[in-house]
Amino acid sequence: MNPAKILIIVSLVVFSITSCKKETTEIDKQKPEIIINIDGTFPLNCDTLYFGETFNVKMLFSDNFELGSYSIDIHNNFDHHSHSTEVTECQLNPIKTPINPFTYINDFTIPVSQKQYQTNLPILIPTENENGIFDEGDYHFFISLTDKEGWSTQKGFSIKILKR
């Protein structure tokens, strides 16, 4: 056998072995989930919240290994810029210029070693800040969830915040 043939055979064998190498260590390749079809999930797309009142964020989080943390962001959608993740369309008010819109951003931890976690998080929406009374209208409720490995999932809902 000449060296050329040997080289060809060796390289084909190496190539096929390396191409078929099976993973030896088990690593997590699944994103966590925000489950919104349990009883009493709140808020959902097109729901309404009220200034001066406290509402309860109720959602079920789930992951195959271990959950990480989550954050909630509420901001105005007076310009209909919408990054809703939901298929259903909500009835939006006409586009308007914000004067003193309400903004809420916070991050929350999840106790360690949880595969499932249900939030029971009260959030108070104040009626005003030092600039005056907050604007009523269309808002976005945006929630982001991670697992321990850094996989993440997001949900965005169109909501309204009104004065009762």
Partner 1 sequence: MPKINIIIICILLISSNIFSQNNNFHLNGKIVDDKNNALQGASILLKPINKGTTSNLKGNYIIDGLKKSKYVIEISFIGYKNLTDTILIEKNTVYNASLTTEILSLQEIVISDNSNEINKKQQSLNVEIVNNTYLKENMGGSLSKSLARLPGVSTMDIGTGQSKPVIRGLGFNRVVVVENGIKHEGQQWGADHGLEIDQFAVDDIEVVKGPSSLMYGSDAIAGVIDVKQNKIPLNNTINANIDLIGKSNNNLLGSSILFSTRKNWFFLNLRATYINYADYKVPTDSVDIYSYKAALYKNQLRNTAGFEKDFHLVFGIIKDKFSSKFFLSSVNSKNGFFANAHGLEPRNVNTQIHDEFSRDILFPYQEFKHYKIINKNKWSFNNLKIEADLGFQNNFRQEWSEYVNHGYMPATFPDSLIFPANLELQFNKNIYSGKIITTYSLSENTNFSAGLNAEYQQNMVDGRGFIIPAFTQTNYGIFALVKQVFSQKHIVQIGIRYDLGNIATESYNDWFLSPNETNISYSYLQRAEKINRNFSNFTYSLGYNYNLEKIALKINAGKSFRMPIAKELAANGVNYHNFSYEVGNSNIKPEISYQLDAGFEVLNKKFAFGATPFLNYFSNYIYLNPSSQHDRLYGNGNQSFYYTESEVLRYGAEIHSHYQLFKNIKLGFIGEYVYSEQLSGEKKGYTIPFSPPTNVLFNVKYSRNSITFVQKPYLSIDYILTATQKNIVPPEEITEGFQLINIRFGGDLKVKNSIVKISMQIQNILNTKYFNHTSYYRLINVPESGRNFIINISIPISLKIKSELKNV
Query: Which contiguous run of DSSP H or E holds residue 8?
Result: helix 3-19
Residues 95-134, mask of contacts with partner 1 (x by CB under 8 A): --xxxxx-x-xxxx--------------------------
CA nearest neighbour of 137 among 40, 36, 50? 50
Task: Tell which one of 1, 39, 87, 94 touches partner 1 (CB under 8 A).
Answer: 87
**Distance between CA atoms of residues 111 and 154, nearest Å:** 20
Task: Tell which one of 35, 38, 48, 83 touches partner 1 (CB under 8 A).
Answer: 83
CA distances from 85 to 17, 42, 44, 145, 147 (A): 43, 16, 11, 14, 20
Residue type, 136: E
Task: Tell which one of 41, 62, 64, 69 touches partner 1 (CB under 8 A).
Answer: 69
Q: How far is the CB of 9 from partner 1 (least distance, A)?
A: 11
Task: Tell which one of 33, 53, 86, 136 touches partner 1 (CB under 8 A).
Answer: 86
Query: Under the criterion CB under 8 A, does residue 11 sit at the interface with partner 1?
Result: yes
